[in-house]
Structures are given as structure tokens and as C-alpha cells.
Amino acid sequence: MVFPVMTACQNSGGKLKDRGYSFVNDTAQAKILIYCGQNLFSAFWYSDTLEKPFLYPVLDASGQRITRAFPLEKVAGERTDHPHHVGVWFNYGDVNGFDFWNNSYAIPPKEKPKYGRIVVQGIPTVSSGNGKPSSLSYSAVWRTETGKDLLYESTRYVFDAGDSVRIIKRNTRLRALNETVVFTDNKEGMLGLRVARFLEMPSTEPVVLTDSHGKITSVPVADNSGVTGNYIGSSGKEGDAVWGTRNNWVTLCGENQGRKVSVTLFDHPSNPGYPAHFHARGYGLFAVNNLGQQVFNPKEEKQIFTLKPGQELVFNHMIVICSGKWLSREEANKLFSGFSREQPGK
């Protein structure tokens, strides 16, 4: 399945179904609904009451949800750990000593001062049609829970689609504000998503799940029925061995009710720390971390990034979601080659 990057959604017959993506701003819930043709693809949540903005849910071309529902919804059989894993997000575990990654509603008030949140400024802007790629842009500040602004973020999402493909590209600029900002060598980062149960890897370890009534229940041995995930990295590693390795891309493959689905994260050669280490866990956390290094491999030097006021770090990533067939290694390499030649934000 070799496919071009496209700006229109197509049906199985290859005819134009719609001119790509459209957006509806739900101001009451501070989220922007994202449609591909007539079908919901995702929603961008930007309320300033959240610990961070995120995309949720994310659906493949068949309408299958590939992100975990918890903590926003209760779905029987899903894990209920790590409440900070929400949809698709971008942040980091140690910025001037503040933890932006693990912050959530579950943190006790007395512990909150140790954490940071990302606060979207105003209403995101969207653009679609007229032959241009569909995009969503926003600005935000990385703010400590004690009220200090450390970073200014400028992010642009670009969305593409094909017959059975959904593509998300993300360009993010982080600029230090009034003081020097230090990113330490930390495993908690950066572009992450928490996947649906069927994309997890089978496990015999105890889990905490939601039952059919929304009640959280501890299960001593996981039921692996329908759990089919497997990681494949560009480095040649597979399964649990992918965690902590450097890759141009990593694919997570799975199958639900007889339909194959794959989610592939791509790094970009222009990113700091390229090729990035991947924080890919069997229980469903799938992330690419450009700033962590020694924390993943003790043989490597500790990596510290320091920004003086006005200095920037720029990140470019791509997510490709395939429905009905797994993205092959050859196809992933071809997509990476094309993506690596792009210069977003230049």
C-alpha cells in the first residue's frame, strides 16, 4: 500500500468525497471538532482549566478509535492508570525542575507546586480549503503551578488524508521567556499518545481496568482477549525491545474485530537529539522523546538543553494512521524520506 500524501479524503472508489478537513469550534467545551469529509477525525481541547492541550479522540479512516478513552470517558476493559495520558499531547518531565508531563487532576493540592501546565492563549486558528493543507494553530505558555511563565509555545498542526490513511504533522517552537530554561535528561516526553486497549501488547501482569459500569477494578492477571499490539522500529527492534532505542520511526500494529490498524510516529532530522529515543511501552504509552538520552541508555552521555531568554527549540513530528493494512517497513522508510526533506515553519 504505497500512498501519496493527499489533501482530500477519498472513498474506496477513489472519488473525491470532500475537500479535506473542516473544523467546528465548540466554545462551550473549549474544543475544536475536526472532521475529515463528513466524519469526525478528532477534537483539539484547549480549555485553560486543563493541564495541557491535546487531541482526543483520534479515529482512523474506518471510524475506529485508536486512543484510550480514560480519563475523559469510561470504556469497559480499558486500563485506568496514568491519568495524565490523554489522547495525543506534547510536553516534558523536567523543565527548570518542574514536571509538565505527569501533571493531572489526580495530583494532590499540596504536591501541585512541583508541576507545570501548558495554557493556550486565546482561541486556536484554523484554515482549510482553497487547495491548501488543512491546519490548526495555537500559541500557549508553559507555566508553573506557582504562576511563573517559562516558555512560549507556537504550534501548527497540518492534517492530510487518503483512502485508508490519516496524517497528522506537528511543528512546535518553544522559546524561553524571561529566564534561562533548562531541559534535563528525562524519560517523560515528548510527543505522546495513549492507545486503545487493542493496540496494547499482550501481558500477564496485574492491571487496573474499568468495568462495564465504569467502576475501576484491579485484575491480578490481564485478559489478553483482543489485545494484539506490537512495536516495529526502523532500527530493526520489535516488541518490548523497541523501548529506549533510537529510530527514524516506530510503527505500532494491531487488529480489532478483523481489521488491521497501524500507528506510526516519525522523528525529523532537524529535531534536537535526532534520531530520538522512543518511549514505547507495551501497556499503551507510545511517545517519541527528543531530549532524553542517558535515561534511556546509560552508555550515552547525559543530555542537557539550555535556552537563554529568546532562544528556541523547534520540533517536527508526523503521525500516520493506516486502516485495513499495516504500514510496511518499505512504506515507512519512503514516508520518512519525504518527511525528512520537508522544512516546516521555515
pLDDT average per 10 residues of sequence, the chain (346 residues): 34 41 95 95 97 98 96 91 96 98 96 98 90 91 98 97 94 98 98 97 79 66 86 97 98 96 98 97 97 97 98 98 97 97 77
Instruction: Write out the three cell numbers for 9.
Output: 479524503
The confidence score (pLDDT) of residue 217 equals 67
Cβ(150)–Cβ(176) under 8 Å?
yes
Whole-model pTM?
A: 0.92
Cβ(313)–Cβ(272) under 8 Å?
yes
Q: Which residues contact 336 (CB under 8 A, 6 or more apart)?
A: 234, 248, 249, 266
Instruction: Write out the three cell numbers for 93.
Output: 518531565
- Which sign does the torsion angle of CA 286, 304, 148, 142 carry? negative
Q: Which residues contact 233 (CB under 8 A, 6 or more apart)?
A: 242, 245, 247, 249, 250, 251, 278, 280
Task: Give the DSSP letter string of 304-340.
Answer: -EEE-TT-EEEEEEEEEEEESSPPPHHHHHHHHHHHH
Choosing among 2.70.98, 2.60.40, 2.30.29, 1.10.1740, the CATH entry for 23-341 is 2.70.98
Residue from 311, 263, 308 nearest 287 by CA: 263
The confidence score (pLDDT) of residue 154 equals 98
Query: What is the rounded CA–CA span in Å between residue 47 and residue 105?
Result: 14
Q: Could you tell me where the DSSP H helices lie in the chain?
A: 329-341
The confidence score (pLDDT) of residue 284 equals 96
Cβ(266)–Cβ(320) under 8 Å?
yes
Cβ(162)–Cβ(36) under 8 Å?
no
How many Å separate Cα 339 from the centre of its chain? Answer: 17
**332-335 long-range contacts, CB within 8 A, separation 24+:** 332/234, 332/249, 332/251, 332/264, 332/266, 333/234, 333/248, 334/2, 335/249, 335/264, 335/266
> At 41, which amino acid appears?
F
Residue ranges of domains in the chain: 23-341
pLDDT tens by residue, 38-95: 999 999 999 999 999 999 999 999 999 999 999 999 998 899 999 999 999 999 999 9
The confidence score (pLDDT) of residue 9 equals 32
Instruction: Write out the three cell numbers for 45.
Output: 481541547
